[in-house]
Every structure is written in C-alpha cells, then in structure tokens.
Amino acid sequence: MMNVNHPKVLIVSNLYSVAGHVSGANITTAVKDLIEGAFSQRMNVIGVIRFESIFRKPAAGCKTFLENGVQVFDVPRVGLRNWIFAKATMLLSRRELSSLKPNIVVCHRATNLYFAKKIFGSSPKYVFVLHQSDLNSEILSYALSESDLILARSKPLSDRILKFYPSAKVSGIVGSGVDMSNAKRKDRALVDSNILKIVFAGRLVPLKNIDVVLVALSKLRKQGQRFSFKVLGDGPLREILERTAVELGIKDSVEFYGHVDKFKVLSVMSDSHLFVMPSAPETFGLAYLEAMSQGCAVIGHRGWGIDGLVEDGVQGYLVNEANDQNILDCFLRYMRLPGVQRFDLHEEAFNLAARNDKSSAAENYKSLIESVMYDV
C-alpha cells in the first residue's frame, strides 16, 4: 500500500555529482544540494539513479555506492535512437532496480523520464523537473505528457515552456539555494567608493556575453569613470577576451584570474559593487545568488536566469538585450544613485539571497515533490 505521508522517492539525474564517480554532466553541485537538502529534511529518498552513456562509461551492469547516506545507482545506457540497444538497457536496468518500488520518481531532464518510465512502469507518480537543455530535447513533448507533476528550474524557463506548450501545467519553480554561512553585507565605505568594482564568475563561453561587457567598460572609461573588472573562471574564450581587453585599451583595469576556489570567489565578490552576467540562454545561475550573499547588486538578462527573482532597480538591473549600450546604462544607473539609495540596493540584494538560502530551497523542493501524492 502506498504511504502518502512518507512516500518513497527515487531521483533520476546525472546532474548528481559525486567525487570519484565522475558523471558526464558533473559541472555543478546545484542539483545535488537540493537532493541532499531535502534528504536532510526527512524526504524519504530511496536512491539516486544516474544514467550514463555506455560509450562514456563502459560497464557490465549497475554499480551502487553510498554518498552522504544516499544510495546511488550508476546505470549504463545506450541512446534513444537505437531501439534494440535502448530495449536492452531497459531490460538490464529493470532487473537490477526492480526491488526499489518507489512511490514517486523525480526525473531531472526529459531523457531520464523516458528511461525511468520504461523501467518502473505506470505505478509510481512521475515528477518532471524541466532544465534549460530540455528545450532542445526531441522527447520533450513525451516528458510533458507522461508526467504527473511538472516543475521548472526557473520562472523564465516555465514561461518559455508555456509559450510553446500552452496545455502544459507547470506546478512550481525549483530554484537553487545559496549557502549563507559565509554571507557578508556590503561595507558602507566600499559602497561610497567612486571607483566602480565589477566582478564576473563563471565559464568563459559565448552565452555569458563577457565580450559585450568589455566594450561597455571601454565606453565607461571614455566617460571618465574609473573601474576595475575581475573575471573569475576559465573557458574557451579566455585568450580572445584577454586580447579584446588589450585592443579596447582597458587591460590595466581588467584582471583574468582563471579558475579559483569558492572562498576566493566570495572574497572578490565581497569587495565588489556589481556582479555582471548578462547570460542568454541561462536557466538560473547560482552565481547571482552567491554574489548577492556578498551584498553585490547584479546585472542579468531579462527573460532568462535571474529574471523573476531580481527586480530591475531593486536588487540590480536587467537588460532586454545583451549589448554594450544596455550594459553601460546599468553601470551609469548605479553610479548616479545617491549614497543612501545605492546602499539600499545592496541591502535588498543581500536580503533576497537570505530568503533563498539552501534550507529554504530544499524545503520547497521537498514540498513540491511530495505534493504529487495528493489530488488537487
């Protein structure tokens, strides 16, 4: 009999990163933090399945191990296009995972829902957590129609799905939470400084639009404004961006750090006024919240990422298009604020981060998942 009050929850996500057991998608701990946070709040997580391409991680069968008290199953699979191999994957997985008998199966990304449904059948309730990459999935419509509950990783992502799939019902937003244990409000002396301190933290890839930020900064210099821009992170565009800074004549005010640890990131953020990341497309971007936990006001892209959480002019600024003039306008809007209003902007950013800490995010995740057990 199904236990409505304490249902058995199985998570299917290759975004659950584990040291020593490398996932092909092992880029961020955001999903892992949500799962382990919900587990610590007594969500009955009976396991996490990570489907991995058999070509990336050859294996004869399912491998299991414990990670912080959570049972993890690494299951080899072959892509959807070859139905014979896909069928073999399902048969093998079904045999090895049949003892789990979950009440709820939570699937991050559409392909995971497809395989989970074939393995566990129609008995469990299925929760589909929509990610940015699902927008290009060939089986997105299948995942939407076969789910009992649909959740999205951000409000802009939910809006985009409803635009293209009007009949879909997104029942909630599953945002990431920020660690506030090292949070720090902005110092008034820093806020009153006439030298604008800007920071970016993330992968140096085209969608981050850092090239456009550099052009905006070159125009800011021509207006006589002093600034520093610290770029934390690495990526394929680093050399190009470094050359761009030289060509624009702002090399002396731009510093590329490469990859640094979390504590260095937070330290630089705490000594900065603005965090800039006008990314598009962007699902959410935990770096925004991390910056706000250090009191930074943020600059993001309207309709993506942080939009729906940050209000323009309240905790930072949102641009309609990531071009140099729009970003320059954000810099100027900030510098033209009277001292009291500038300080209020930083306080609002910090308070927004505090309302979206790890514990709150995990509680929201748990509550939304378990709500699938009740008919509304």
58 pLDDT more than 80: no
Which candidate, 165, 188, 51, places its Cα nearest to that of 108? 51
pTM exceeds 0.85 for this model: no
Say yes or no to pLDDT of 26 above 50.
no
pLDDT digits (tens, 9 = 90+) for 294-322: 999 999 998 877 887 899 999 999 999 99
Q: What's the pLDDT tens digit per position in 184-243?
A: 999 988 988 899 999 999 999 998 999 999 999 999 999 999 999 999 999 999 999 999
| Phi, psi for 52 (deg, rounded to 5) | -125, 140
Domains of the chain with CATH codes: 9-177+359-373 (3.40.50.2000), 188-355 (3.40.50.2000)
Matching residue, tokens 């910090």: 350
Token look-up 């997985």 returns: 93
What's the pLDDT at 89? 55
Q: Could you report the per-residue pLDDT of 115-170, keeping only the tens digit for each? A: 899 889 999 999 999 998 898 888 999 999 999 999 999 888 898 898 889 999 99
Strands of the sheet with 9-12, listed across from one edge: 63-67, 70-77, 45-53, 9-12, 104-108, 125-130, 149-152, 170-173
Spatial separation of the C-alpha atoms in residues 218 and 333, rounded to whole Å: 17
